[in-house]
Structure 1
Amino acid sequence: MGAWLYILRCSDGSYYTGTTRADLERRVAEQQAGHFAGYTQTRTPVVLAYSEYFDRITNAIAAERQIKGWSRAKKEALMAGDFARLGLLARTRRSSSAHGSRRGAARRSSP
C-alpha cells in the first residue's frame, strides 16, 4: 500500500511536512480543521504546497525525514519543481559543511 508525502504552507509562512496513507484531500482537510494536535493546529489555515505519491510507505517516510532536515530554500526549490536549484543548494550545503568549524579539535599542549 502506498502513501503520500505532502508539504503544507501554514498561515505563519512556515512549512509542515507529513505523510499519509489516507486520501490526500481528506488529510489536508483534517489538518485545516485542526484535527491533529501539534504543529499545524495553531497555524491554520494551511495550503497544500507539494505532494508526491510513493508506492511504499517506507519510501514516503524516508523522504519525509530527509525533507524535514532541509533548509527553507531547498523546500521551496522542491515545491517549485526547480531541480537545478535544488541540486545547487545541496552542493552548497555539502561544501560549506566540509569547511565548517572544527569543534572538538584536539588542542596542543604547551611543552
Structure 2
Amino acid sequence: MKSYYVYIMASKSKVIYTGVTNDIKRRVYEHKKKIIPGFTSKYNTTKLVYYEETKDIKTALAREKQIKGWLRRKKIELIEKENPLWEDLSKDWY
C-alpha cells in the first residue's frame, strides 16, 4: 500500500514551506538540491523539520490544505511540538 506524506521544509532563518508527496526521500532531495525552481529554491528551505504519513491521498491533501491555512504561529507550534530544535529530520537519509 502506498504512503503519502505532508511535510514542512524550513530555511536557516525559519522560512517554512508545506507540501505533500508520495515519496518523501525523493521530494526532500529535490528541495535540498534545488532541482525544481520555485519557492523552496528561492528561499533556501532545505531542512525537513516536520512530516506525517498517511495511506490516503485525500487525507494527505486535506491535511496539507489545513496546515497551509493556519497562521504561522500555529505552524511553528506544530513543528516545535515534535522537533523543538528545528533539526533536519532527513540529515541521515543520504
Q: Which runs of 4+ in 1 moved over 4 A?
A: none
Q: What are structure 1's unaligned runs of at least 5 residues?
A: 83-111
How well do the aligned residues superpose, as a CA RMSD in angstroms?
Answer: 1.6
Aligned to 1:55: 55
Deviation at 1:45, TM superposition (A): 5.0
Kindly indicate which of the two structures has a greater share of residues assigned to helix: 1
Higher RCO (C-alpha under 8 Å, 6+ residues apart): 2
2-structure distance, mates of 1:25, 1:14: 21
Q: Does 1:16 align with 2:17?
A: yes
> Percent identity at matched positions?
35
Aligned to 2:26: 26
> Computing the radius of gyration over CA atoms, which structure comes out larger, 1 or 2?
1
Q: How does 1:27-42 map to 2 (within 5 A)?
A: 27-42=27-42
Q: TM-score, normalised on structure 2? A: 0.77
Q: Is the CA contact (8 Å cut-off) linking 2:6 and 2:60 kept in structure 1?
A: yes
Counterpart residue type for residue 51 of structure 1: Y
2-structure distance, mates of 1:75, 1:81: 10
- Distance change in 2, residues 1:8/1:71 (3 Å): same
Give aligned pairs, total: 81
Q: TM-score, normalised on structure 1? A: 0.66
